[in-house]
A and B are shown apart, each in its own frame.
Chain A
C-alpha cells in the first residue's frame, strides 16, 4: 500500500486523521458551550444525552478516535524522525523565510497535546483526578451527571485553569499550521485560495482557542458559577 509507505501517502493519512480530530474538536466545543445555558438543563443534560446513546455507538466512536489519534501520532513521530535526518548538518546561520514557530514545532505541540489529552481524559472522562467532584458519582437535581459542578470546582483552581488554557494555546499553535496544511496535503489548494485558507485556518484555530479557553476562564473569573 503506497498510502502507508510513501512520503505523500503517510502525510495524507496524517492530514485526514488530524482534520478528523479538528472536526471532533469543533463538535466537542459546541457541546461544551451548552455550559453557557443554550440547552435546557445545560451541560449536565448534554452529558446525559451522550451517555444515553447506545453503547456500541459510544464504543465505536471512542475506538475510532483512538485509532485516529494513534495513526496521527505514529506517522507524526515517524515522519518527524525521518525529516530530522533530511538535513544532517545545519547551516551556520539559520534563516527562515516562510516557516513559522508553529510549523517548526508541530511535533512538540503535538506531544503536549497527547499529554494534555491523557490528563483531560483522566480528569473529566474517567474522573479519577479529583473523585470528590466526579460528575458521575454526583448527579444533579434532575438526575443528570453534575458536569457543571465538576467543571466549576476544577476551574476555580488557578493551576488547573492554567493547564487547560495553556493546552489551548498549544492547540492553537498546532492548528494554526495544521488546518491550512491539511488542505495543501490533500491537494485542495492553489495560489489563489492558499492565502485565504491560511487565514481561515488560523481563524478556526483561534476560534477553538477562544471557545475552549472561555470555559475555564469565565469560571476562574467567577463569571460562570
Chain B
C-alpha cells in the first residue's frame, strides 16, 4: 500500500443539460487521487472542486456503492462499468489507472435509454420488460409450503446464477445494437428453470420478447458484448435458453 502517492488524471466527461440538449464533452482535471479512491469517490472529489468554483457538478446515478443496486452506470473509455471483470463502476478503484491517464466518461448510450442529464439515463424500459411478464402470478398468501416444491440444488443454483442480474443495463450499453437480450434472458431463464415458473412460461417469453421490441431495444447478433459488460457475470447461455423457450412457446 502506498498511501502517499497521488495521481492526476484528465477526465473527458459527457455533459448534457437535459434530454433535448445536444450535449458535449468537457475536460476536467482530477487531482490528489489515491489508488484507494473508488471511481465514484474520484468523481465526488472533482465535483467538490466544481462546486467550490461555482460550476455545475457532474451528475451521475449511484446509490448503494457496493455493486448490488444496479444504479451506477457509466461508460469508461468505451467500456460499460470500466471493463473490469464482474465489477460495477462503484466498485472500480483508481488503482486500475495510472497517473496522467486520460479517461473518457460517458452515459449508457442506447435508443431505449434516453439521456436525462449528464451521465444519467432513463432505464424505465427495463421495468417495462419485467412488467410484461417477469413474475409468477401468485397471490399474497394462499401459497404452498416452501418445501412442497422440490428444486434440486443444481437447478436452484443455475436459477440463482440467472437471478444475480442487478438490472443495471450495462448489457444494453455494451451491445452495439442496444439489445436487452441478456437482461431479459436472465429473468426468463430464472423462471423457466424453476417449477414455479412453468405455468406461465410460454406467455411470459412471448410477452417479454415483444416488450423488448416495443421499448426500442435492438436485436441480438450474438456479439456477446453484453456478457463482457455485465458486472454480475450473467452468461449468454441464458439468451440461448430464452431463444429455446421462445421456440417452445411457438408450438405451445
Contact = CB atoms under 8 A, between A and B. Distances in A.
Asked if A and B form a direct contact in the complex, defined as CB atoms under 8 angstroms apart, the reply is yes
Interface of A: 2-3, 6-12, 79, 82-83, 85-100, 103-104, 106, 177, 180-181, 183-191, 194
Given A10-B219, A86-B218, A97 B246 contact: no
Given A7-B220, A8-B246, A90 B109 contact: yes
Given A87-B177, A189-B240, 4 more contacts: A2-B210, A7-B217, A9-B250, A97-B79
A38 B25 CA distance: 66
A95 B174 CA distance: 9
19 contacts: A7-B217, A8-B220, A8-B246, A9-B250, A12-B247, A82-B218, A82-B219, A86-B218, A87-B178, A98-B223, A106-B221, A184-B239, A184-B240, A185-B243, A186-B244, A187-B241, A190-B237, A190-B240, A194-B240
B9 to A, nearest CB: 15
Interface stretch (B36-44, B45-53, B145-153, B224-232): B224-232
A83 B176 contact: yes
Q: How large is the interface on B (under 10, 10 to 19, 20 to 34, 35 or more residues)?
A: 35 or more
A86 B243 contact: no
A148 to B, nearest CB: 40
Interface string B104-128: 1010011110000000000000000
B250 to A, nearest CB: 6
Contacts of A190: 237, 240-241
A89 B109 contact: yes
B175 interface: yes
A97 to B, nearest CB: 4
B77 A93 contact: yes
A104 B246 contact: no
B206 interface: yes
Contacts of B12: 92
B78 A99 contact: no
Contacts of A100: 223
B225 A97 contact: yes
Q: Which 4 A-B pairs have the closest CB atoms?
A: A86-B218, A187-B244, A86-B178, A95-B78
Interface string B190-223: 0000000000000000100110110011111111
B134 interface: no
Contacts of B239: 184
Contact of B209 (A7, A86, A92, A189): A7
A84 to B, nearest CB: 8
Interface centre among A2, A8, A180, A189 (most CB of B within 10 A): A8
A96 B83 CA distance: 10
B236 interface: yes
Nearest to B174: A97
Contacts of A11: 219-220, 243
B242 interface: yes
A41 B132 CA distance: 63
B240 A187 contact: yes
A103 to B, nearest CB: 5
Nearest to A83: B177
Interface centre among B77, B246, B250 (most CB of A within 10 A): B246
